[in-house]
Chain A
Amino acid sequence: MPYDPGNDVLVVPRGPEPGGVGGTYRVFGETLRGMKTVFARLFEKPVTIQYPEEKTPVYPRFRGRHRLHKFEDTGLEKCVGCSLCAAACPADCIRVVAAENTPEHRVSAGERYAAVYEINMSRCIFCGYCEIACPFDAITLGHDYELSDYNRSDLIFTKEMLLSEPLERTPLRREGE
C-alpha cells in the first residue's frame, strides 16, 4: 500500500519557476525590489566604528590589561607578594619577587610586599585566574585592549605600569547597548 501523507504535508507556496512569462515578470519585480532595498540603505547611518578616533566600548566584565590596586585611604599597595597569582597563571606570565616590609619602608598592608611584579603581556591569555586567585583583590583585569608594541621586551609590564592609571580610558558600554 503506497504511503499517503494525508494532512501532514505542508504545502509551501512558491513563486513561478524561472523562465517563461511569469518567471520573467517575477525576476523583473524582484530585481526592482532588491534595488529599492539597497537604495534605502543610503539614508541610514553607517555602523562602522572609526577605530583610532572612536573606540569600541567594552562590557563591564571585559578582561583587558591588568591593574594593581592600592588602598584608597592609606595609599598602601594591596598586593602582599604571596605569588598566588603566579601559581594560578596557566600561561606562566606573572613574576613576583617578594620582600619584607620594614617600619621605615612600608609598601603594603601585610607583612611582605611585591618588590618585583611583572606581567608578560605577550604571553598573557587574559583568563582572569590571577584575579580569582588573589586573596586581597590586589590585581584585577581592566578594560584596556590597546596593548600592541614594537618590541617584545616592551610588553613586559612592570609594577609601576600596572599601578598607574591607563593613559587613555576605554569607553564602557552603556546599559542595554
Chain B
Amino acid sequence: MTAPVHVLGDVAYFEPWWIQIIKAIVIFAVILQILPVTIVIERKLLGRFQLRYGPNRVGPYGLLQPLAEIVKFATKENIRPTTSTGWLFILAPVISILTAVAALAIVPFGDTVDIFGTQVGLYGIDVSVGILYLFAFGAIAFYAPMLGGWASGSKYSFLGAMRAAAQLISYEVAQGLALVGVLMTAGTLSLTEIVHAQEGMWYFIPQFVGLLVFTTASFAETNRAPFDLSEADAELVQGYMTEYGGAKMVAYLFGEYLNMMIASLLIATFFFGGWQLPFGIDPPTWVDPFVVLAKMSVFLFFFIWVRASLPRLRYDQLMSFGWKVLLPLATANALVTAILVVTLD
C-alpha cells in the first residue's frame, strides 16, 4: 500500500485502517498493563532500598496493591473547591493523560513484521517528523499542571503550577537541544529511522553528553525526584494537584507514570538502539517488542533508583542547573556534533 502524501508530515509505512486500530488497542493495552506493575514494583523497590518490604499484603507479594488503590480512589467522593473553574478543572488531568498517550503512538517497538501475510509495523505510526511530534505534545503537556493549578482556584495550587510550568519550560529546551545531536547524527527525525541508523553503533557512545543531558532533563520533565519540587509530596502537599482527589488525582498520577515510561522508551530508542541487541545477535522480529520493553524496564529501574537516592533540589538550584549547566552542555554538544558531522562527511 502506498503512503498517502500528508500536509503535516510523511508517513514511511502505512497499513490498512483496521490494522491501525488493532495496533493502537494492543499498544495501549500492553502499556496500560505494565503501568500498575511499575507502580507496585517502584514501591517495593523503594522499600528494599530503605531496608523494608514495601507493599506485601494485598494479593501474592502485594501485586494486587494498585488494584486495591484504584478501587479506593474511584469510590472516593468527588470534591472540588467552589472557587475552581469547572470544565478546566476536569480537563487538566485529561490533558496530562492525552499527551502522554499521544507520545506513545510513535515509539517504535520493532521493525515491520509479516503477520499472516500482512506487513505490520510494530509501532503506532512512523511519521517523518517524529521528534517534532514528541516535542509538540510535550509542549501541550505543560497545560496539564498549569490549567490544573490555575483552575483549582487555590493560591497554593497556583504557586505549584507556576513552579511546575517554569521547570517544564526550562528543561524542555535542554531536552530538545540534547536530541539535536542525535538527529544530526542520524540525519532523520523519524524514530524508526533513528533506530535503523544506530545499527553500527548505539548513540550512547558518540552522543554520551546528549544522553546525560536528555536523561537529566527527562527527570525534570516527568516531575520525578530529584526534580519533583513542583509536587514535593512532603512539604507542598502535591503542588498543583492539592485540590484534586479521587479519580482526577489518579489521572494525574497515571499521566506522570506514563510519562516516566515514555521517557524510558525514548532513552532506549534514541541512545540504546531501540529494538536492536548488541554483539550482532539478530533474533526474529517478534522478539523486538520484548527487547524494547526490557530496555524500558532497565531505565524505569534507573528512575526508581535515582528517586531513592537523591534529595530534592531547591528551586533556585533547579533553575540555575537547567539554564547554566544543562543548556550550555546541550548547546555545546549540538555544536560539536554539527562540526563533526560536517567534517566527517
B118: Cβ under 8 A from any A Cβ:
no
- Cβ of B285 under 8 Å from chain A: no
Question: Is A38 a contact partner of B49 (Cβ separation < 8 A)?
Answer: yes
Q: Is the pair A34, B309 in contact by a Cβ cutoff of 8 Å? A: yes
Among B28-53, those with CB < 8 Å from A are 45, 47-53
CB-based contact A42/B52 at 8 Å = no
Interfacial chain A residues near B47, Cβ < 8 Å: 46
B residues in contact with A151, CB < 8 Å: none
Contacting pair A42 B48 (CB below 8 A): yes
**From A45, which residue of chain B is reached at the shortest CB distance?**
B51
Complex Cα spacing A35 to B52, Å:
18
Q: How far is it, in angstroms, between the C-alpha of A42 and the C-alpha of B50 when the chains are bound?
A: 8
Report the minimal beta-carbon distance from B85 to chain A, rounded to whole angstroms: 41
Q: Are A38 and B308 in contact (CB under 8 A)?
A: yes
Quick check: is B139 within 8 A (CB to CB) of the other chain? no
**Quick check: is B79 within 8 A (CB to CB) of the other chain?**
no
A44 and chain B: residue at smallest CB distance: B51
Q: Which chain B residue has the least Cβ–Cβ distance from A39?
A: B305
Are A31 and B53 interface neighbours, CB within 8 A?
A: no
Question: Is A46 a contact of B52 with CB atoms below 8 Å?
Answer: yes
Distance between Cα atoms of A24 and B216 in the complex (Å): 15
User: How many residues from A make CB contacts under 8 Å with B?
Assistant: 15
Number of residue pairs across A and B with beta carbons under 8 Å?
36
Residue A41 contacts which of B48, B306, B310, B325 (CB distance < 8 angstroms)? B48
Q: In the bound complex, do residue A41 and residue B51 qualify as a contact, i.e. CB atoms below 8 Å apart?
A: yes
Question: How close is A38's CB to chain B, nearest CB, in angstroms?
Answer: 4
Query: In the bound complex, do residue B325 and residue A46 qualify as a contact, i.e. CB atoms below 8 Å apart?
Result: no
Closest Cβ of chain B to A42, distance in Å, is: 5
Q: Are A47 and B308 neighbours in the complex by a CB distance under 8 Å?
A: no
How many Å lie between the Cα of A42 and that of B53 in the bound state? 11
* A45–B308 CA distance with the chains assembled, in angstroms: 17
CB of B322 to closest CB in A, whole Å: 14
Beta-carbon contacts of B289-315 to A below 8 Å, as 1s and 0s?
000000000000000011011100000
Q: Chain B residues with Cβ under 8 A from A39's Cβ?
A: 49, 305
Given contacts A24-B325, A35-B305, are A42 and B49 in contact (CB under 8 A)? Answer: yes
Which residue on chain B has the smallest CB distance to residue A38?
Answer: B309
State the 8 A-B residue pairs at the shortest beta-carbon distance, nearest first.
A38-B309, A35-B309, A48-B52, A47-B51, A46-B52, A46-B53, A46-B51, A34-B309
A residues with CB within 8 A of B: 24, 31, 34-35, 37-39, 41-42, 44-48, 50
- Can you name 19 A-B residue pairings with CB atoms under 8 Å? A34-B310, A35-B305, A35-B310, A37-B309, A38-B49, A38-B305, A38-B308, A39-B49, A39-B305, A41-B48, A41-B50, A42-B49, A44-B51, A45-B51, A46-B47, A46-B48, A46-B52, A48-B52, A50-B53
